[in-house]
């Protein structure tokens, strides 16, 4: 596999980053995951806009222009012959030389790495036909979840707790309400209404969330942006999650309780179809 490191395209076993890099010692880094379908990038502009927002929030400089990221992503897709899969991009505050809590001089060059992962048949995942089972765990992450940092240990722990219970993912709960999934935004459906937590520092502002809510409104569905409890979710007609790599993924069980009749809901299935159609149409 060919990967990208600071301007160079290299075989993955020749790509290196310093052990003093702030990304390595401090998780002082942000990332994006962009899906690739039929060799094209899904919602590139949305992910690029959020990358800029994450970097700005942390006062990390952005060494590349949007056009340069686009060219680099396309180069990686082409060199690695990716039809369906994803691009992972990470930008760190760079290598200050010594470990220090204070940020280094802003002139310190940022570290930019990117790689592809092939996922044949990404959009026809069998899981989308059966749906996910989720468990709930307390949300014990930091307070700026709107910044897409690489501090992913707690979500990893939650994913492992889900796996240990035979579930597919965990929903995180704070003050009695679901915030989001380990790596996705969470929704419930009641009749013609789609309910998902409002945007704040408490959740990641999902790029897929923005697109799905726009498409739902355009399809005359009602959207209610508010928190919901585990009990309300268990009694909903349907549930689902969204993310750049899972698209719209139905959820059929929460903490062992079946949602609706326990099968994939019609609203979730329809939104998945509408989303994928629109994203394939606008992929670049």
Give the x/- contact pattern for ligand PLP in 7-46, rule: CB under 6 A: --------------------------x-------------
Rank residues 139 and 238 by Cβ distance to ligand PLP and give the closer one: 139
Instruction: Identify the CA nearest to 88 among candidates 104, 105, 64, 72.
Output: 72
Residue 106 CB, shortest distance to ligand PLP, in Å, is 27
Contact residue for ligand PLP among 184, 189, 249, 275 (CB under 6 A): 184
Residue 197 belongs to what H/E stretch?
none
φ, ψ at 252 (rounded to 5°): -115, -5
Residue 216 CB, shortest distance to ligand PLP, in Å, is 14
Total interface residues for ligand PLP by CB under 6 A: 13
Rank residues 95 and 170 by Cβ distance to ligand PLP and give the closer one: 170
Give the x/- contact pattern for ligand PLP in 103-142, rule: CB under 6 A: ----------------------------------------
Instruction: Identify the CA nearest to 206 among candidates 198, 217, 195.
Output: 198
Give the x/- contact pattern for ligand PLP in 188-227, rule: CB under 6 A: ----------------x-xxxx------------------
If binding is defined by CB under 6 A, does position 185 make contact with ligand PLP?
yes
In terms of C-beta distances under 8 Å and separation of at least 24 residues, what long-range contacts does 102-107 make, across chains too? 103/59, 104/22, 106/59, 106/61
Query: 14 to each of 9, 11, 17, 187, how far by Cα in Å?
Result: 10, 6, 10, 42
Per CB under 6 A, which region of 128-136, 159-167, 177-185, 262-270 contacts ligand PLP? 177-185
If binding is defined by CB under 6 A, does position 159 make contact with ligand PLP?
no
Rank residues 92 and 95 by Cβ distance to ligand PLP and give the closer one: 92
Is 156 buried (19+), middle (13-18) or exposed (0-12) by CB count in 10 A? exposed
Per CB under 6 A, which region of 97-105, 119-127, 176-184, 272-280 contacts ligand PLP? 176-184
What CA dihedral angle connects 41, 43, 45 and 50, to 10 degrees?
A: -120
Give the SS3 label for residue 179: strand
Rank residues 20 and 142 by Cβ distance to ligand PLP and give the closer one: 142
Catalytic residue among 119, 148, 177, 190: 148
Per CB under 6 A, which region of 58-66, 222-230, 236-244, 264-272 contacts ligand PLP? 236-244
What's the rounded Cα separation, in Å, for the pair 224 and 189?
10
Provide the terminal-to-terminal Cα distance of the chain, rounded to the nearest Å. Answer: 22
What angle (nearest 5°) sits at the alpha carbon of residue 180, between those of residues 177 and 186?
95
If binding is defined by CB under 6 A, does position 244 make contact with ligand PLP?
yes
What's the rounded Cα separation, in Å, for the pair 268 and 127?
13
Q: Does residue 40 have an active-site annotation?
A: no
If binding is defined by CB under 6 A, does position 243 make contact with ligand PLP?
yes
Residue 18 CB, shortest distance to ligand PLP, in Å, is 26
85: number of Cβ within 10 Å? 20
- Residues forming contacts to ligand PLP in the complex (CB under 6 A) are 33, 180, 183-185, 204, 206-209, 242-244
Q: Tell me the catalytic residues.
A: 148
């Amino acid at each position: 596999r060919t990967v990208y490191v600071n301007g160079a395209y290299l075989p993955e076993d020749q790509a290196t980053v310093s052990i003093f890099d702030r990304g390595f010692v401090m998780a002082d880094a942000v990332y994006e995951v962009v899906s690739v379908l039929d060799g094209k990038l899904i919602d590139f502009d949305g992910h690029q806009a959020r990358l800029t927002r994450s970097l700005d929030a942390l006062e990390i400089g952005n060494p590349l222009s949007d056009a340069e990221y686009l060219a680099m992503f396309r180069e990686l897709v082409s060199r690695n012959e990716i039809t369906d899969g994803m691009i992972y991009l990470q930008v760190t505050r760079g290598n200050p030389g010594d470990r220090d809590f204070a940020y280094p001089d802003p002139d310190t060059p940022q570290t930019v790495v990117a790689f592809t992962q092939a996922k044949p048949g990404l959009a026809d995942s069998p899981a989308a036909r059966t749906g996910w089972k989720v468990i709930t765990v307390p949300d014990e992450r930091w307070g700026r979840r709107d910044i897409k940092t690489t501090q992913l240990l707690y979500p990893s722990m939650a994913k492992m707790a889900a796996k240990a219970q035979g579930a597919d993912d965990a929903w995180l709960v704070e003050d009695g309400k679901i915030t989001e999934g380990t790596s996705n935004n969470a929704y419930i459906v009641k009749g013609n209404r789609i309910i998902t937590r409002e945007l704040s520092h408490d959740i990641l502002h999902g790029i897929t969330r923005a697109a799905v809510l726009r498409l739902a409104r355009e399809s005359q569905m009602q959207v209610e942006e508010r928190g919901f409890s585990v009990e309300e979710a268990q009694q909903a007609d349907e549930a689902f999650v969204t993310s750049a790599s899972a698209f719209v993924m139905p959820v059929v069980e929460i903490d062992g309780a079946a949602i609706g009749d326990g099968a994939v809901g019609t609203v979730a299935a329809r939104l998945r179809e509408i989303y994928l159609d629109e994203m394939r149409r606008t992929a670049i």
